[in-house]
Amino acid sequence: MGRTTVLYDGVDLTAGYVVSDLRRSLLPRVASSVDVPGMDGALFTGARMGVREVALTMTARSKDAQEREAAGRALAAALDADSPRPLQISIDGGLWLMALAESGGDSRRYTTANSFEVTFRAFDPVFWGEERTVTVPSGGSVGFHVGGTAPTAPVVEAPAAANGSGGFWRLRKEDGTDLMAIIPEQAGTAPLRADCLHRTLYVNDTAALLVPAADWLVLEPGDHTLTMTGTGAATVTFHERWL
């Protein structure tokens, strides 16, 4: 088995540093509760996923102290980002987190090596996996499978959507969830793009609102069917998500 590699925003950090002491939470679940007078324990009120942290030690080896200090500055530059970036560790088999790097505490300086403690914070604690795309034929339906262990939110794109019965364009999930939009009558057909993760909808290149009875699509792991009302073939693109 080869050495473990760490890529951050496309930069191979292990190309110039020795990475060791990898530490991260298995399931960053956060439970909430309230104390109730006279009740043993506490009353459970809910749970959610918290921030996932990945910590590791990065060591620059050199007999030259100036080279070691320069390596530290280069590492800081590689980690410098003002928003979460892809963090991919080879032992995860191609999965990655969107994470922001922090480096706290003093570095440790030895005779031939400098070590730096680096912590990555994934505010979205679920891993990203392979991208999948399925096509819903114009006015038809498609069945497909979603892998992973966590729900995912797709991006829907229809280059030439047109209203169907009821005066709207719709994608219906097998559980009855509808992604619905109204295409302007004067346009006839119009490009449509719905990003269900960021909850944005564009119709004819203009920001639009979902029809009030509609909702954003969420695809749980398993088998699904999407059925179109209206016309205009649509691509549905999603990443498998993993806990």
- Tens of pLDDT along the chain (243 residues) come to 467 889 999 999 888 888 888 898 888 888 999 999 999 999 999 998 899 999 988 888 878 778 888 888 888 888 899 999 999 999 999 999 999 998 765 677 777 888 888 999 999 999 999 999 999 999 999 999 999 999 999 999 999 999 998 889 999 999 999 999 888 877 788 999 999 999 999 999 999 988 888 999 999 999 999 999 999 999 999 999 999
Shared domain for 89 and 165, answered yes or no, is: no
pTM tops 0.95: no
pLDDT at position 132 is 97
Per-residue model confidence (pLDDT) at position 40: 92
Q: Is position 1 within any domain?
A: no
Q: Are residues 14 and 120 in the same domain?
A: yes
The verdict on 149 and 50 lying in the same domain is no
Q: Give residue 220's domain range.
A: 128-242
pLDDT of residue 197: 94
In the chain, how many domains are there? 2
> Both 118 and 36 in a single domain?
yes
Other beta carbons within 10 angstroms of residue 31's beta carbon come to 11
Clarify whether residues 237 and 193 are in a common domain: yes
State residue 41's pLDDT score: 92
Are 56 and 132 contained in the same domain?
A: no
